[in-house]
Structure 1
Amino acid sequence: MLSRRGFLGTATLVSASAVSGRVQAAAIPEAPIMEKTVMQPPLHPTSGPDYRPVVTLNGWSLPWRMNGDWKEFHLVAEPVVREFSPGMKVHLWGYNGQSPGPTIEAVEGDKLRIFVTNKLPEQTTVHWHGVLLPNGMDGVGGLNQPHIPVGQTFVYEFQMKHSGTFMYHPHSDEMVQMAMGMMGMIVVHPRDPSFRPVDRDFVFIMSSYLIDPGTYLPKVTEMTDFNMWTWNSRVFPGIDPLAVRLNDKVRVRIGNLTMTNHPIHLHGHSFSVSCTDGGWVPESAQWPETTIDVPVGAIRAFDVVADNPGDWAFHCHKSHHTMNAMGHDVRNFIGVSKKDLAKAVGKLAPDAMVMGSTGMAMGEMEMPAPDNTLPMMTGSGQFGPIEMGGMFTVMKIREGLARDDYKDPGPYKYPAGTVSFPVDAPSEQPMRKDKPASTPKDGDMKAMKGMKGMKGM
């Protein structure tokens, strides 16, 4: 649900650059805010060209108003509190009550007027990443415009000349502001609704954070050692599933503003990369994939026909990106007996748990942890613990979903005989036919060493 708040009457209206037909003073639209962390229904257009709106994973699209032939939006840059998953909240910076900010949707050819009010404790700007626009609207503070001072509002005006998928983020104290979560997605729909239509259209942005267990603030100077890998500032099991109707054509748009690339993998299907932030990929240049690498500072969109029903894992394929904060700096004790170690540690810390000698499966464990952090692996399914975290969710493909039904349809009902099952097997397995009969004896090894200088050896 959206709540609405008026713009502060004491703020100043300043233009980002001189544009003909300048908006009149005091004509600033209200700034909607969002307080929920669940995916909101698609925002269908009420005027202008028709299009299939996107749904933002654990997010929403920013409402607008028409003022003549201008589509007007209002972003408010401000401190926010974002729940990464139940049990962990983080103090970030974002827009309109959330981090990342709301998705901005428009249509190819639209004239956009975007008001940006600064409620941060420092100056800021907004860069429209990938959008082709006049130089004075590009949002690089000091280069293309003055920085937006605290408490003031700037307005950006430009026309969306190309359809596609883009991002927005600051170019003012960028290291801090992006590390604090200031970013969002832009989707520009083709003016011709027959151009590459889809039945369902999802969008999200990837960000990463280093947040010590028990704390609430990211370490903004970190460059490599992140412990929270998020989709729309959520981690599994806090990431919504992607509910899809069987045989729908689905588009998934992914932005990457982390410090590394992400190989994004969908189970049970192959797909084609359809769009980057540089534009649409010609259909003749597409090829089938099950994993697509999303580089830093880029977007990738893929199209898939959801013709295989079930609950299909959808995740980053870097394994340390599918676990949460508790998984870092854990030493490897696989194969090491922990009896003696446990006795020694127990004398110093009776509540300590020595773990890891047979692996790190933690789905069914309950162990003490600091406040405001998450287990390394968490979540559960109908067959037991789902030992994942971070950048992981599920695409749930079902028959009979309504056109705009994105609610979680619950666990998949597997047809009889289609689930992997245990079998009885003897404890002593027969010797494999390809197993060596014996290891070389000492005399054989000496003979082999003496043969090294011979031809062909």
Structure 2
Amino acid sequence: MLSRRQLLSAGALLAGATAWTKTSAMGLPDAAVMESPDMQPPIFPTSGPDYQPVVTLNGWTLPHRMNNGVKEFHLVAEAVERELAPGSTAYLWGYNGQSPGPTIEAVEGDRVRIFVTNKLPEHTTVHWHGMILPSGMDGVTGLTQPGIPPGKTFVYEFDLVKSGTFMYHPHADEMVQMAMGMMGFFVIHPKDPKFMRVDRDFVFLLNAFDIEPGSYVPRIMEMTDFNLWAWNSRIFPGISHLPVAKNDRVRVRVGNLTMTNHPIHMHGYDFEVTCTDGGWVRPEARWPEVSIDIPVGAMRAYEFDAKYEGDWAIHCHKSHHTMNAMGHDVPTLIGVDNSKVTDKIRRVQPDYMAMGDRGMADMGEMEMPLPDNTVPMMTGWGQFGPIEMGGMFSVVKVREGLSANDYADPGWYKHPEGTVAYEWTGDVPAPTKSGDAKTMAPAAHGGHGKQG
């Protein structure tokens, strides 16, 4: 009996290679595998220059080994099962057990050797997006190298000549392989440990799928009409929160490998754009934002000082990108009385629920029947009720007293008395205490990230 992953790997040729061992690898570095959808702790350097490692939302960092001064990594291109959110799984292609693949971290000046083993049913390559390297290591099928055949391992080796944030993805049957989830982050830390140092450093990739409700495999021919908008192949409420200690200097790195741009907006703060995939932005050239548009095939990094406690939303500001499993042919029924037709339909379908005549907020509260392997369009709950979001949405949780490198979810924010919006009942509000006014100012006016 073949597993679903083995079936997706196209049969007996690859089915016997689902578990990689030192013996079968014949001296290759171990190919670490991660199947958990949870955000994994950072990996701190044990030698060489010091740096603050990144944390990948719902992801992990690929371990390496040292071999005569060269950092060696092992990527395995393979079919994977990815939990998009609890109750929904997709059959994708990725690396080392997940889509996106693991984040690769190294330091400016390092020489790296990356072994890429192909367990897919067709050839592949890896393109190191935005990096300066020899042409023959650039990973474009037919132009700079032959494709890596199924069952074979190729080696990429080059020096890391500049620090910054980069990506990796195939340049082989790209429409299929990227639509199936093949991508990952490559972070190169500065050689100088003090340069652009932050206390917390988050990374995630923007990706999108067209997966029909009840099904598992993306429609690879889709160009624009996607119904699932994801961060690291996760959709809200399955996306990790971003726990931050008060007064931390925080960096958020976002890469976009979808078919459209995404304006990423974070509540409660303004921030500075400090890096693009072309390099670090000089202090005098940085600009303040509360939303940063991430173009297709690009990344942006921004930084802020975590001065203001709270639960602050972070999301794509295209409203359809914060929904799950959207049906784009649904008519607008606002103001329509459909009670009579509802009664008729319930005679043959007792579970039928008419929705949309007052808007779509009811979707966040109702538990209507859905196809298997499908999550609601608007889902997720907070301390005050349904959040009514999906897709590209998460929460930056700024808390007093979080220890360094503690990324556990601190729970919902306990708002100081008098700082939550409330219903007016006609009474004259009590005078605002000076302490309350000071507490409320950040939420009303935003913060000011320092230049660094």
Task: Work out whether the TM-score is over 0.5.
Answer: yes
1:433-444 map, 5 Å:
none
Secondary structure of the equivalent of 2:81? strand
Output the CA distance in 2 between the equivalents of 1:7 and 1:256: 35
Secondary structure of the equivalent of 1:208? strand
Equivalent residue number for residue 49 of structure 2: 49
Is the counterpart of residue 134 in structure 1 residue 149 in structure 2?
no
Equivalent residue number for residue 232 of structure 2: 232
Output the CA distance in 1 between the equivalents of 2:22 and 2:130: 29
Equivalent residue number for residue 187 of structure 1: 187
Conserved 8 A contact 1:338-1:355: no
Which amino acid letter does the alignment assign opposite residue 302 of structure 1?
A: Y
1:40-189 map, 5 Å:
40-189=40-189
Tell me how far 1:327 sits from its aligned partner.
4.9
Secondary structure of the equivalent of 1:44? coil
Equivalent residue number for residue 17 of structure 1: none
Equivalent residue number for residue 346 of structure 1: 346
1:27-426 map, 5 Å:
27-361=27-361, 362-425=363-426
Which runs of no fewer than 5 residues in structure 1 stay unpaired?
12-25, 427-457
Which runs of no fewer than 5 residues in structure 2 stay unpaired?
1-17, 428-452
Output the CA distance in 1 between the equivalents of 2:325 and 2:99: 19
Which amino acid letter does the alignment assign opposite residue 21 of structure 2?
A: G
The CA RMSD over aligned residues, in Å, is: 1.4
Of the structure 1 ranges 158-167 and 330-339, higher mean CA displacement relative to structure 2 is found in: 330-339
Conserved 8 A contact 1:213-1:326: no
Percent of counterpart pairs with the same letter?
66
Which amino acid letter does the alignment assign opposite residue 412 of structure 1?
A: Y
Output the CA distance in 1 between the equivalents of 2:174 and 2:132: 21
Tell me how far 1:410 sits from its aligned partner.
0.3
Q: Give the alignment's TM-score, normalised by structure 2.
A: 0.89
Is the counterpart of residue 6 in structure 1 residue 21 in structure 2?
yes
Conserved 8 A contact 1:326-1:374: no
Secondary structure of the equivalent of 1:369? coil
Output the CA distance in 1 between the equivalents of 2:318 and 2:42: 31
Output the CA distance in 2 between the equivalents of 1:32 and 1:121: 21
Tell me how far 1:27 sits from its aligned partner.
3.5
Q: How many residues align?
A: 409
Tell me how far 1:200 sits from its aligned partner.
0.2
Tell me how far 1:343 sits from its aligned partner.
2.8
Tell me how far 1:155 sits from its aligned partner.
0.3
Which amino acid letter does the alignment assign opposite residue 202 of structure 2?
A: F
Output the CA distance in 2 between the equivalents of 1:326 and 1:264: 20
Conserved 8 A contact 2:244-2:398: yes
Cα distance, 1:8–1:95 mapped onto 2, change above 3 Å: farther
1:392-440 CA-partner distances (Å, limit 9, x unpaired): 00000001111110000001011011000111259xxxxxxxxxxxxxx
Conserved 8 A contact 1:54-1:202: yes
Of the structure 1 ranges 151-160 and 324-333, higher mean CA displacement relative to structure 2 is found in: 324-333
Output the CA distance in 2 between the equivalents of 1:283 and 1:264: 22
Equivalent residue number for residue 16 of structure 1: none
Q: Give the alignment's TM-score, normalised by structure 1.
A: 0.88
Tell me how far 1:8 sits from its aligned partner.
6.9
1:34-87 CA-partner distances (Å, limit 9, x unpaired): 011111111001111100000000000000001011000000000000000000
